[in-house]
């Protein structure tokens, strides 16, 4: 068996080929805010995200097949089935935020979905919507309407991916709400396996792919604080940072406070002590 071959790097993780059929995803402790990776890592952030993702894959595998094959003993690596990825990301939105709020304010629609008039920022939508996006080469995703997504994926493929994304969002949002966390929106990547089966891939319902809001204090009409990153964002901005590269180095108390928020999200959602995960990552499966 040969060494893993690096296939690609994201802002905060790497992807390797193990062989023709399997990949290794490795989540680092790097953190990005306002699209800039900060020079200071958050200890265990990659383990929290890997463990959470594996938790959701394990609990939704009967609803939607997924790529997960195994978890590494380091807690930050996932062995997964190599798929033919769909050329669109599936964002499911249950609340009005981010680019959805921007697009709604500009014309009452998000990716072609007509929404009721008079909705406020961060308001819960009448029902969750799927807003596909294409992966722009560098950085930002481009929202597209569902007709365009059908052209890119094929009608049947898109319909299957859409239903899969909605089903996993509904499961995770209900689970999270029962534990005091609002899953405002989340981005899924799906692929097709060797048998033509639409399969959930990449990471699932992590703080990096989603907006997690504390249910406590939720109030529409303004942006909501991020469950995981608000500490970091507030501290960075109060230094006078202009949101361009490079970001500021974080002091120890901001690192510790941010780590505690990630661990709290993990423990609330999984009901598993994070130290148990560190001792044996497979406890989430």
What residues contact residue 153 under an 8 Å CB cut-off, 6+ apart?
A: 86, 87, 88, 161
Residues interacting with ligand Q0Z, by CB under 6 A? Answer: 8-10, 13-15, 23, 25, 67, 80-83, 85, 191, 201-202
Smaller CB separation from ligand Q0Z, 135 or 233? 135
CB of 214 to ligand Q0Z, least distance (A): 28
Interaxial angle between packed helices 146-153 and 155-177, expressed in degrees from 0 to 180 and rounded to the nearest 10: 120
Sign of CA dihedral 261, 263, 264, 270: positive
Smaller CB separation from ligand Q0Z, 185 or 202? 202
CB of 83 to ligand Q0Z, least distance (A): 4
Task: At 232, list the tokens.
Answer: 């970091």
Q: How far apart are CA 272 and CA 91, in angstroms?
A: 27
Smaller CB separation from ligand Q0Z, 63 or 79? 79
Query: Are the beta carbons of 18 and 6 closer than 8 angstroms?
Result: no
Smaller CB separation from ligand Q0Z, 92 or 192? 192
Query: Are the beta carbons of 50 and 78 closer than 8 angstroms?
Result: yes
CB of 123 to ligand Q0Z, least distance (A): 31
CA distances from residue 148 to 66, 111, 142 in whole angstroms, order as listed? 25, 10, 12
Smaller CB separation from ligand Q0Z, 82 or 261? 82
CB of 8 to ligand Q0Z, least distance (A): 4
CB of 69 to ligand Q0Z, least distance (A): 9
């Amino acid at each position: 068996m040969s060494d893993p071959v690096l296939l690609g790097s994201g802002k905060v993780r790497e992807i390797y080929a193990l062989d023709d059929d399997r990949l290794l995803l490795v989540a680092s402790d790097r953190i990005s805010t306002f699209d800039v990776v900060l020079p200071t890592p958050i200890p265990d952030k990659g383990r929290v995200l890997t463990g959470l993702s594996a938790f959701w894959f394990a609990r939704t595998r009967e609803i939607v097949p997924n790529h997960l094959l195994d978890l590494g003993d380091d807690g930050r690596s996932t062995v997964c089935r190599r798929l033919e990825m769909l050329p669109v990301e599936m964002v499911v939105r249950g609340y009005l935020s981010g680019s959805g709020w921007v697009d709604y304010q500009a014309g009452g629609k998000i990716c072609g979905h007509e929404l009721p008039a008079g909705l406020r920022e961060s308001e819960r939508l009448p029902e969750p919507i799927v807003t596909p996006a294409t992966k722009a080469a560098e950085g930002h995703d481009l929202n597209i309407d569902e007709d365009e997504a059908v052209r890119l994926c094929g009608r049947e493929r898109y319909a299957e991916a859409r239903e899969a994304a909605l089903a996993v969002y509904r499961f995770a949002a209900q689970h999270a709400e029962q534990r005091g966390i609002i899953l405002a929106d989340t981005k899924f990547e799906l692929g097709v396996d060797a048998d033509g089966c639409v399969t959930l891939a990449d990471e699932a319902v992590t703080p990096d792919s989603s907006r997690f809001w504390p249910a406590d204090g939720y109030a529409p009409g303004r942006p909501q604080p991020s469950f995981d990153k608000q500490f970091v964002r507030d501290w960075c901005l109060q230094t006078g940072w202009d949101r361009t590269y490079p970001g500021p180095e974080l002091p120890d108390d901001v690192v510790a406070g941010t780590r505690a928020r990630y661990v709290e999200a993990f423990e609330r959602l999984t009901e598993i002590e994070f130290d148990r995960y560190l001792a044996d990552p497979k406890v989430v499966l």
